[in-house]
Amino acid sequence: MAGNLELLGSVLAGAKDEGRAALVGYLPAGFPSIDGGVDAMTAMIEGGCDIIEVGLPHSDPVLDGPVIQTADDIALRGGVKIRDVIRTVGEVHARTGAPILCMTYWNPVDRYGVERFAADLAEAGGAGCILPDLPVQESEIWRKAAEQHGLATVFVVAPSSRDERLAKITAAGSGFVYAASLMGVTGTRESVGQEARELVERTRGTTTLPVCVGLGVSNATQATEVAAFADGVIVGSAFVKRLLDAEGDTEAGLAGLRELAGELAEGVRAAR
């Protein structure tokens, strides 16, 4: 099976045709368990997410704040392996038909084998990879493997990225550009703000790829704010928090995810 880069593109284009931003939800694989994670991500799609990012739990997640670190720790203590992450991608895609990406730091991919990782992710029906710590200038080996298997390579840009650097990053990427709304780690914020809007405008000056904004969006009001200027709104910590708050009550956790996805989906539609 080829990767689902085209599916990712069509879902983002479809949202644009509807006059709205796409809603992208994130959860780490293996949280609260491997099968529980598949059920949780399925519930997020049922609630209104268009796209899912499956996190590959990492012991030293440089971009992730305390909420996602807690979930990663639960997944790692539960014994999650890379093959479980790839299986999660495959099962969520098979259940929902939605584009599913893997968000991972570079070290696990490098250790697993670049070609093998790309091949296995594509075989599972994955749409691509978000690689927050892979420098563009060191990314050729991955990009070749991803292109060969029909996978998107999504790079992260930040408010500190200068225009010249933005142009290099966006020229190398595919699928969409992940715009980090602020300097710092993932987590919910009171405001997402002006920095994100300016970053999206500068990024659009270098590429025709959709620009999706993450880091800090946690409720419908913020989703509406970001959806007014971005092609996609990425929400992670708020979904993780809903599951953590359920304290092991499976049905309450799934209901909470569906509810939050529904509120955020209304938020992205209210923006236009």
Please identify, in words, the CATH class of the domain defined by 4-270: alpha beta
Positions annotated as catalytic residues are 53, 64
pLDDT, tens digit only, all 272 positions of the chain = 577 999 999 999 999 999 999 999 999 999 999 999 999 999 999 999 999 999 999 877 566 678 888 999 999 999 999 999 999 999 999 999 999 999 999 999 999 999 999 999 999 999 999 999 999 999 999 999 999 999 999 999 999 999 999 999 999 999 999 999 764 444 444 556 688 999 999 999 999 999 999 977 899 999 999 999 999 999 999 999 999 999 989 999 999 999 999 999 999 999 77
Distance, in Å, from the CA atom of 143 to the CA atom of 121, rounded to the nearest integer, reads: 14
What's the sign of the alpha-carbon dihedral 26, 28, 31, 34?
positive
The reply to whether omega before 32 is within 30° of 0 (cis) is yes
> Where in the chain are the domains?
4-270
Cα–Cα separations (whole angstroms), residue 105 to 80, 130, 238, 245: 15, 8, 21, 27
